[in-house]
Amino acid sequence: MEQLTKDDLLQLRIVLLSDIEKLIERKIKASDKEPQEWLRSKSIRNILGISPGTLQNLRITGKIRYKKVMGSYYYNRVDLEKLFGDGEG
């Protein structure tokens, strides 16, 4: 039976650390592909099947968060899911 040396353990450590780094990199890349948190007005209207006036009303009454960037409105996905969700959560 072969005995492990300190060098063997050091090599194992290096391999394990390398594998852990690769897993973390994959996790980071996968999280970058998650849906955007903020969606444009047109996308929201198409997804929900609502008119521009309805979306404006939701914005004015403060029922959903929004950001205005250079004339375009962006709406928070989480707020919309809560407002128009199926009642879970």
Asked whether the whole model's pTM tops 0.75, one would answer no
Within the chain, strands assigned E span 38-40, 66-69, 72-76
Residue 81 three-state SS: helix
DSSP state of 66: E
The answer to whether 30 and 40 are in contact (CB under 8 A) is no
What is the arithmetic mean of pLDDT over 25-45?
76
- Scanning the structure block, which residue is given the tokens 């009454």? 61
Q: Which residue has the higher pLDDT, 74 or 35?
A: 74
Alpha carbon of 16 to those of 9, 43, 60, 87: distances in Å?
Answer: 10, 44, 54, 44
